[in-house]
Amino acid sequence: MRILTPLIVLATIIIPIFITTDHVIGNDTEKPFIGAPTITFVIDQEMVEVSVEPGSDGIGRFSGTVYCEMPPSTPPGQSCIVQLNADAGGWPVQTPESMTFDRSHVEEDFAVSVQVPIETSQYTSAQLSISGRWSYSPGATAGTIPATTAIIRVLSYSQPIVTAKARDDTIPVGTWGDVTIEVTNAGNANDDIQLQVTDVPDGVSAYFEEDTITVPEKDTKTVILKVKQSSGAPGSHQFTVIAHGRNNGTRSQDQQTVVFETGISARSLATTWYIIIPFLIILIAGGVLTYISIKRMKRKRAMVKDMS
C-alpha cells in the first residue's frame, strides 16, 4: 500500500498532461487526420491544330481549370498545393508553377504549351496528357491526380519545288522536243501538285504530258514538258513553269525559268539543199559555157590575124 500510493499520485499528474498536449514526432506536431481533397482538371480544348510549316512557331496552346475541393474537416490555415505534370510523346511541354488552394480558393486557371518540331509530318499525331500531384501544407499527406488528355493535330502545308533540267543539244525548228522537269514535294504530307506554263513567246508551243501529279511527302517526281518552235529563225527561247501545291486547301507555289535552244531542222537543211544544188549546177554550167565561148573568140581572133 505504501508503494502504490506514490504511483497513483504520479499517474494522476502525468496522464492529464499527456492527454492535453499534442504528441510531438520529430520536429512536426501531429495534427488530426484530414481526408484527401477532390481535385479535377478540365481542359478547354479537346484538340488543338498546330502549323509547322517553315516560319511558324509550331506551338500548341492549351488552357483549362483546376478544381480543388478540400474536406469539410479541414482546419483553418490548411492549404493544398497542386503541381501539374504534362507529357506529349516526347515533345517539349511548358507547364505552370504550382498552385495553392484552401477552403476559400477552390479553382484556378492554367495554361500549357507544347512545342511541335518544325516540318513534322502531318501523319505524326500526339496526345497531351496532363496529370498532377497534391500535398497538404502543413503536413506530409500527399497523393496523385489522374490524367486528363487532349489531342495535338499537325496541319499539312504545301511546299513544291520545281527544277528544269537543261538540254545539251538544240531542238530543230518545227519539231517537238522534251524538257525534263523535276517536281519535289518539300511539304509535310502527300500533295497534288498542278503544273502550269506561262510567258510562252510567240511562235513557241509548250505543254505538260501530265499537268497534275501526286507527289508523296519529301519525294520527287519527273515530268516531261513538250516544247516546239513552229516557225522562224532558230534561237534561244525561255518561259516560266509554275508548280502549285494544293495540300488540304493551302496554297503554295514555286516557279522556274525554262530555256531551250532551237536549230535548223534536217528537213530545213534538205529544203535548202534542194534550192542550192540546182543553183550551183546552173552556176557551174554558166561558167563552163562562158569559158568555152571565150576560148572560141580567142581562136577566131587568132585565125583573122594569121590571114592578114
Domains along the chain?
25-154 (2.60.40.10), 160-264 (2.60.40.10)
Contact 147, 86 (CB under 8 A): no
Dig out the grid coordinates for 187 from the structure: 511539304
How many helices and strands (H and E) does the chain possess?
2, 20
Tens place of pLDDT for every residue, the chain, 308 residues?
454 454 444 444 443 333 333 333 333 444 456 889 999 999 999 999 999 988 788 999 999 999 999 999 899 899 999 999 999 999 999 999 999 999 999 999 999 999 999 999 999 889 999 999 999 999 889 999 999 999 999 999 999 999 999 888 899 999 999 999 999 999 999 999 999 999 999 999 999 999 999 999 999 999 999 999 988 889 999 999 999 998 765 668 899 999 889 886 544 444 444 556 666 777 787 777 777 777 777 777 666 666 66
The predicted structure's pLDDT at residue 130: 97
pTM of this prediction? 0.68
Q: Sheet harboring 252-263: ordered strands across?
A: 171-172, 252-263, 236-245, 191-198, 212-215
The predicted structure's pLDDT at residue 150: 97
Dig out the grid coordinates for 285 from the structure: 554550167
Q: 179, 186, 178: which is closest to 253 by C-alpha?
A: 186
Question: In the chain, which ranges are E strands?
Answer: 24-25, 28-29, 38-43, 47-50, 59-69, 79-87, 93-94, 99-101, 107-115, 126-137, 142-154, 160-164, 171-172, 177-185, 191-198, 204-208, 212-215, 220-229, 236-245, 252-263
Dig out the grid coordinates for 165 from the structure: 533540267
In a 3-state reduction of DSSP, which class is residue 294?
helix
Provide the residue count of the chain: 308
